[in-house]
């Protein structure tokens, strides 16, 4: 492993985008490729040949991307492979390819430079748009542009991996999806200067189980290819000039963690029961079909929250009934007899949808969001309900309405559902006979009147992300009040307790799908408060199942009775740790 150059170890902070520890020899994927692109004026007699050369590069790039797409589909997944459809569409877009040709012809610029200029312009334009989906396409065009330039310069599009150590940490200014498509097996971690948790490649890294730290900034230049580094994807740190014994310890920790994860995942394939024989369902939260594989691999007993808004956010138009039906059907088929709780559109608040023309509001979180929006935009709502009802024939569907706080809202939503069911039955569609219809409890109003709502809801799922912000009047996304935003605040815990008791009295199931549900530190408390189902990001399932198996429900209930009497989140945490 690389030589220690006697400099003192130094730790740099980035963003942990994929958990785990890794130690290895860094390899730069590419260093500012843009700096070496030649720029020259071509003679008018060369123009036709230059355009031909460019067209050949387009054809070769297309061939390479198709190859990459196939290998990603095989090794990572169908959803991840779809990223490359966007890449291919740029190569067929006259506004991009045609513009490069025009630049070669009218400005007599060599193809590499024309390609770089048009790519940069398009990228800047996309990045400036107020839509996350289109912003993400800015990364796509960069990836395509880089590949085109590489082809023009005679590159093969393959990274030269000869001489890479058995433990390689890939270092890059920024990673593109195609960089991860054919990653050699000896790559054990990723470090980048730029990028965020939501980058396509961050999601791919999590799927691949590769620890990654992004956003290291200029500190990335402290990394030398001659010396090993240690990265911690949980803490978001990178240690340069580490001591040899620390590198060894990190490698051992990584191996142990890999083995523990493998065992925990294996154990998680079975349902979890408490020591006194109470089954607690541990479900996955998903944002789309791309999350299904991880949910299944981690042993999800079902899906507790399918956030359908991503289907809308990823599109530049209202998803049609048919488009939605296909997605819901695939999710239901993947889980068969296990329940899939699909939440109807939760838009508004911090989730803006450009084509929805949402009103500009002073307090969007207190405004026209979730079920409130859907009950006003009936066509949007009914399109989704029809798609859901049709998909119900293919699995075990539960439908959940977000942000319900009055019986009137629940009744109105149910009425639309019933009317859609009638319509579809008349049109001859098959549907499940019984579809449980529940609500999210995510406002103090819903929690306090849970006994009333329980009479007409078939199940509850407590959304602690919102319940916490509304109870404590602390915006969930505002770093300045992050210290106040604590789901373990006794005020929130009492509302959870009250909701669970109301559900039990009415004989309906109650679960939780906010982030709090996935924190193993609180599993025993949550079981004690009365939750029968916990739903979370797939990677937390194995450890939460492990905690459930170590919990005695009766003792947990006594614990919960004590904890709700405490006065602060700090006291709650101290009390739990002391046990
Ligand atoms: C919640 O509010 O806890 C929840 C799960 O919904 P979202 O995070 O999508 O608002
Ligand atoms: Mg919510």
How much is the pLDDT for 4?
57
Nearest ligand to the CA of 516 is: 1
Q: Which residues of 546-571 are buried (b: 16+ CB within 10 A; e: fewer)?
A: bbbbebbbebbeebbeebbebeebee
Beta strands in 261-395 (DSSP E): 272-273, 279-286, 303-307, 339-343
How far apart CA 251 and CA 361 sit, in angstroms, is 51
Q: Which of 227, 262, 297 is the last residue of a domain?
A: 262
| Number of domains making up the chain | 3
Residue 126 belongs to a domain: yes
Task: Tell me the three state secondary structure of residue 219.
Answer: helix
Residues with Cβ < 8 Å from 430, sequence gap 6 or more? 393
Residue 464 belongs to a domain: yes
Spacing, Cα 346 to ligand 1 middle (Å): 9
- Concatenate the DSSP letters of all residues of 171-217 into one string: EESS--GGGGTT--TTEEEEEESS--TTSHHHHHHHHHT--EEE--G
Q: At what angle do helices 132-152 and 47-75 cross, to 10 degrees?
A: 120
Spacing, Cα 396 to ligand 2 middle (Å): 23
Residue 326 belongs to a domain: yes
Please give the angle made by the CA atoms of 518, 307 and 472, to the nearest 5 degrees.
60
Residue positions counted in the chain: 579
Residue 267 belongs to a domain: no
Nearest ligand to the CA of 306 is: 1
CATH of the domain at 555: 3.20.20.60
Same domain, 251 and 370: no
Instruction: Please name the helix (run of DSSP H) or strand (run of DSSP E) that holds residue 9, with its range, or none.
Output: none
Ligand 1, atom nearest to 513 Cα: 5
- Domain region containing 383: 272-578
Q: Enter the tokens of residue 116.
A: 């770089």
How much is the pLDDT for 33?
47
513 is catalytic: yes
Spacing, Cα 465 to ligand 1 middle (Å): 5
Same domain, 383 and 517: yes
Residues with Cβ < 8 Å from 236, sequence gap 6 or more? 13, 14, 15, 16, 17, 213
How much is the pLDDT for 566?
98
Residue 51 belongs to a domain: yes
Give the closest residue to 240 by CA, choosing from 27, 5, 1, 11: 11
How far apart CA 362 and CA 351 sit, in angstroms, is 15
Calculate what percentage of the chain has a pLDDT beyond 90.
65
pLDDT digits (tens, 9 = 90+) for 330-342: 999 999 999 999 9
pTM of the model: 0.71
Nearest ligand to the CA of 463 is: 1
Catalytic residue among 200, 394, 416, 497: 200
pLDDT digits (tens, 9 = 90+) for 149-158: 888 887 665 6
pLDDT digits (tens, 9 = 90+) for 251-276: 999 999 888 888 988 999 999 999 99
- Start-to-end C-alpha separation, the chain: 42
Is pLDDT at 162 greater than 70 in this prediction?
Answer: no
* Residue 371 contacts residue 413 (beta carbons within 8 Å): yes
Same domain, 359 and 456: yes
Spacing, Cα 318 to ligand 2 middle (Å): 21
Is pLDDT at 210 greater than 60 in this prediction?
Answer: yes
Instruction: Name all residues whose Cβ lies below 6 A of ligand 1.
Output: 305, 307, 346, 442, 463-466, 513-514
Same domain, 471 and 561: yes
Same domain, 370 and 518: yes
CATH of the domain at 203: 3.50.30.10
User: Residues 149, 66, 288, 315: is their CA dihedral positive or negative?
Assistant: positive
Residue 4 belongs to a domain: no
Residue 383 belongs to a domain: yes
Residue 135 belongs to a domain: yes
200 is catalytic: yes
How far apart CA 7 and CA 24 sit, in angstroms, is 17
Task: Tell me the three state secondary structure of residue 445.
Answer: helix
Query: Can you tell me the mean pLDDT for 36-44?
Result: 86
């Amino acid at each position: 492993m690389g030589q220690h150059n006697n400099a003192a170890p130094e730790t740099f902070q980035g963003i942990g985008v994929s958990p785990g520890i890794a130690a290895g020899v860094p390899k730069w994927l590419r260093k500012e490729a843009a700096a070496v692109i030649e720029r020259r004026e071509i003679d008018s007699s060369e123009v036709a040949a230059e355009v031909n050369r460019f067209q050949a590069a387009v054809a070769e790039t297309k061939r390479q991307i198709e190859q990459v797409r196939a290998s990603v589909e095989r090794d990572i997944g169908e959803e991840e492979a779809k990223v490359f459809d966007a890449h291919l569409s740029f190569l067929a877009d006259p506004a991009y390819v045609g513009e490069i040709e025009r630049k070669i012809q009218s400005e007599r610029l060599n193809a590499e430079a024309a390609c770089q200029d048009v790519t940069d312009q398009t990228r800047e334009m996309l990045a400036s748009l107020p839509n996350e989906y289109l912003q993400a396409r800015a990364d796509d065009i960069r990836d395509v542009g880089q590949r085109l330039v590489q082809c023009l310069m005679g590159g093969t599009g393959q990274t030269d991996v000869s001489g890479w150590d058995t433990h390689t940490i890939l270092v890059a200014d920024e990673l593109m999806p195609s960089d991860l498509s054919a990653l050699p097996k000896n790559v054990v971690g990723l470090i980048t200067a730029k990028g965020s948790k939501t980058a396509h490649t961050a999601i791919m890294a999590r799927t691949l189980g590769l620890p990654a730290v992004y956003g290291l900034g200029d500190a990335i230049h402290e990394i030398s290819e001659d010396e090993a580094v240690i990265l911690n994807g949980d803490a978001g740190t990178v240690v340069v000039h580490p001591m040899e014994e620390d590198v060894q310890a990190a490698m051992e920790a990584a191996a142990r963690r890999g083995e523990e994860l493998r065992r925990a995942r294996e154990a998680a394939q079975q349902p979890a029961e408490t020591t006194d024989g109470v089954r607690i369902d541990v479900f996955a939260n998903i944002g789309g079909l791309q999350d299904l594989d991880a949910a299944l691999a981690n042993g999800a007993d079902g899906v507790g929250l399918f956030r359908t808004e991503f289907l809308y956010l990823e599109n530049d138009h209202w998803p049609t009934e048919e488009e939605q039906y296909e997605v819901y059907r695939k999710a239901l088929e993947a889980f068969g007899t296990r329940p899939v709780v699909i939440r109807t559109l939760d838009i508004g608040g911090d989730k803006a949808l450009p084509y929805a023309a949402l009103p500009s509001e002073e307090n969007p979180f207190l405004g026209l969001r979730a079920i409130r929006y859907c009950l006003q935009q009936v066509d949007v709502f009914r399109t989704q309900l029809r798609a859901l009802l049709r998909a119900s024939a293919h699995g075990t569907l539960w439908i959940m309405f977000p942000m319900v706080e009055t019986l009137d809202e629940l009744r109105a939503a149910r009425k639309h559902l019933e009317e859609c069911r009638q319509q579809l039955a008349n049109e001859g569609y098959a549907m499940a006979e019984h579809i449980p219809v529940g609500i999210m409890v995510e406002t103090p109003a819903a929690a306090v009147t849970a006994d009333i709502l329980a009479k007409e809801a078939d199940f509850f799922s407590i959304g602690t992300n919102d319940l916490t912000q509304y109870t404590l009047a602390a915006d969930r996304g505002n770093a300045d009040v992050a210290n106040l935003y604590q789901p373990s605040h006794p005020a929130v815990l009492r509302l959870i307790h009250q909701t669970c008791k109301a559900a039990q009295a009415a004989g309906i199931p109650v679960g939780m799908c906010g982030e709090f549900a996935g924190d193993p530190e609180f599993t025993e408390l949550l079981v004690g408060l009365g939750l029968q189902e916990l739903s979370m990001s797939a990677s937390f399932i194995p450890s939460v199942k492990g905690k459930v198996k170590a919990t005695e429900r009766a003792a947990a209930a006594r614990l919960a009775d004590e904890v709700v009497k405490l006065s602060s989140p700090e006291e709650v945490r101290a009390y739990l740790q002391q046990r």
